[in-house]
Amino acid sequence: MKSSSSYNEHRDRNFSHNDRREPVEEVQVEVGQRFPLTIKRLGINGEGIGYYKRKITFVPGALPDEVVVVEVTHVAAHFLNASLRQVREASPHRVEPHDAKAGEVGGFELEHLAYPQQLEFKRDVIQQSLERYKPRGWQHFTLKPTIGMENPYHYRNKAQFQVRQLEDGTIIAGLYKEGTHDLVDLPEAGTQNEATLTVIRELVKMLGELEVPIYDEEHGSGIIKTLVTRSSEATGEVQVTFVTNSKKLPRKRQLLELIKKRLPQVVSVMQNVNPGKTSLVWGDETVKLTGQDYITEELLGHKFQLSPRAFLQLNPKQTTKLYQEAIKALGLTRANRLVDAYSGVGTIGLTLADKLGEVRGMDTIPEAIDDANRNAALNDIDNAEYFTGTAESLLPQWVANGWRPDALVVDPPRAGLDETMIDTILQVRPEKFVYISCNPSTLAKDLVELGEAYRVDYIQSIDMFPQTARVEAVVKLSRR
């Protein structure tokens, strides 16, 4: 067959000499072009991956083993982006998404994939990252099957929805279409819990009734930019935060009265001031409008008060499992001093404090640290203390001052561990070490360096974000 022999010629020309970086022979392709494609696997963002004349092609919404028709949306030197136009041969694991808006906004990348296969994907993504970075001994790592949810919907305890007013006066609240500022109204969102959505919809109604000015991005006018609701699984309490374009909040009194009357579950109403055009959702200043400063959540028998800015895991049911896995992996029997690094409101360290001599933790958000220290008191814990600052600056200081931990939990953001943090860990070498990761790429990369002193006993993935491509894992490490 002619095409296959010319294919082989290409291959020989490009790969006969050992330069893997040499670009694939220029593929003539343009934006808008359509062609059929067979999908080979899912990439780390949950998108289908196929090869168009050997050029890697990313197709959101396509599944492995499918034959699809795609339309090219972006041509780059080493890859193509394409949109899914038609599924000619569907995967047996393709399911009808629950959400009409799925695919339009972020957060539903895998809703068209059956849940057991979503769980497999999450383990596979970790495998792919290990293959890419090859930390020492990676071929022998144990990757346990992902721990999923019984009902993988309605789990998110927080909604952070942008608000806009359409030309006909309608107020909408939801999320942006990926990579744009086109807001998609989300009266329903299968991943949100009911409390967060009910309150947002009611607030939108109130804003309309009271004609509170809604932020207008184009003119920089108006007030209400974002509505944030967070609910407590244990107590049912809801906290509302209005993110506003100025300190002024017109019709504040009437708004608070309506909330009191119609939304008794709302126990805390806050305002965060974030003036002007900015890509950040939150501004620096948060003030209380009415009620409490916090809502209270319970995890593993401990109470946690949460202020608006403080991080809390978004899936309460899975958080319990995540922490149980972290505790199991830490296997504390003799540990004396634990560091709860990237602590948020101290959930991990405080849950473990009664098994330890002393707990120290740190986080960069001062409000989270205030919450953590207050939460220690709230739970009658007197051997835990939390500090504001970066893990990479505080841990070396503590060690320099003679305070050496023998147990360490790190739970960094997507960027993974800072270089100084890794160096400090390699220097201190705590006996017990658990790495909780929300990004397999940075995890695999960090494990390359950590491999000098630690081996990986196992990696346990836990599905914190069903229907999305996000992956969370607990890694048990042992000192070599």
Taken in order 357, 363, 368, 370, is the CA torsion positive or negative? positive
Whether 284 has a binding-site annotation, put simply, is no
Measured from the CB atom, the residue of 113 and 462 that comes closer to ligand SAH is: 462
Measured from the CB atom, the residue of 283 and 291 that comes closer to ligand SAH is: 283
Q: Which residues pair with 184 in a beta bridge?
A: 175
Q: Whole-number minimum distance, CB 439 to ligand SAH, in Å?
A: 11
| Residue listed under structure tokens 């008794």 | 264
One of 105, 368, 376, 453 touching ligand SAH (CB under 6 A): 368
Whether 411 has a binding-site annotation, put simply, is yes
Establish if 300 lies at the interface with ligand SAH (CB under 6 A).
no
Active-site hit among 125, 408, 438, 443: 438
The residue whose Cβ lies closest to ligand SAH is 344
Q: Whole-number minimum distance, CB 421 to ligand SAH, in Å?
A: 8
Return the range that interacts with ligand SAH (CB under 6 A); candidates 37-45, 195-203, 374-382, 388-396: 388-396
Coil, strand or helix at 466: coil
Q: Whole-number minimum distance, CB 470 to ligand SAH, in Å?
A: 13
Whether 363 has a binding-site annotation, put simply, is yes
Establish if 365 lies at the interface with ligand SAH (CB under 6 A).
yes
Measured from the CB atom, the residue of 129 and 343 that comes closer to ligand SAH is: 343
Q: In sequence order, what DSSP letters do the residues of 369-417 get, joined into one string?
A: HHHHHHHHHHTT--SEEEEES-HHHHHHHHHHTT---SEEEE---TT--
CA distance 263 to 403: 48
One of 47, 109, 325, 363 touching ligand SAH (CB under 6 A): 363
Per-residue tokens: 156: 């998110």
Q: Whole-number minimum distance, CB 75 to ligand SAH, in Å?
A: 36
- Give first-to-last CA distance, the chain, whole Å: 55
CA distance 416 to 410: 9
Establish if 343 lies at the interface with ligand SAH (CB under 6 A).
yes
| Residue listed under structure tokens 């390359």 | 448
Give the list of residues 6+ apart from residue 261 with CB closer than 8 angstroms, or none. none
Coil, strand or helix at 101: coil
One of 344, 405, 416, 440 touching ligand SAH (CB under 6 A): 344
- Establish whether 385 is a catalytic residue: no
Per-residue tokens: 429: 């070498």
Return the range that interacts with ligand SAH (CB under 6 A); candidates 13-21, 244-252, 338-346, 466-474: 338-346
Measured from the CB atom, the residue of 137 and 366 that comes closer to ligand SAH is: 366
The residues in 389-448 that bind ligand SAH, with binding defined as CB under 6 A, are 390-392, 411, 413, 418
Residue 285 near residue 262, CB atoms below 8 Å:
no
Establish if 471 lies at the interface with ligand SAH (CB under 6 A).
no
- According to DSSP, residue 102 is labeled B
CA distance 338 to 357: 8
Whether 124 has a binding-site annotation, put simply, is no
One of 239, 347, 373, 441 touching ligand SAH (CB under 6 A): 347
CA distances for 190 relative to 111, 201, 238, 346, angstroms = 10, 15, 19, 29
Give residue 251's region: left, alpha or beta (phi > 0; psi -120 to 50): left
User: Which residues make up each annotated binding site?
Assistant: 313, 342, 363, 411
Binding residues for S-adenosyl-L-methionine: 313, 342, 363, 411
What amino acid positions are annotated as catalytic residues?
Answer: 438
Q: Which residues bind ligand SAH (CB under 6 A)?
A: 311-313, 342-344, 347-348, 362-365, 368, 390-392, 411, 413, 418
